[in-house]
Amino acid sequence: MSQHPDDALVVYSDYVCPFCYLGKAAMERYREETDDPPEVEWRFYDLRGYKRGPDGSIDHDVDDGKDDDYFAQVRENVERLKDQYDVEMDLDFSKDVDSWNAQQAALYVRQTEGEETFLAFHEALFEALWQDGRNIGDPDVLAEIADELGLAPDEIRDATADETLEAELRERFESAQQAGVSGIPTFVYEGHAARGAIPPEQFERLVDGA
**Is 0.75 surpassed by the pTM of this model?**
yes
Q: Which residue has the higher pLDDT, 2 or 199?
A: 199
DSSP labels for 114-144? -HHHHHHHHHHHHHHHHTT---TTSHHHHHH
| Phi and psi torsions of 133, nearest 5° | 65, 30
* Residue 128, pLDDT above cutoff 70: yes
- pLDDT surpasses 90 at 134: yes
Mean pLDDT of 181-201: 94
| pLDDT average, residue stretch 62-77 | 71
Q: What domains are there in the chain, each with its CATH number?
A: 9-54+63-208 (3.40.30.10)
Q: Which helix (H) or strand (E) holds 85?
A: none
The CA–CA distances, whole Å, from 169 to 23, 55, 79, 111, 152 equal 23, 17, 32, 12, 21
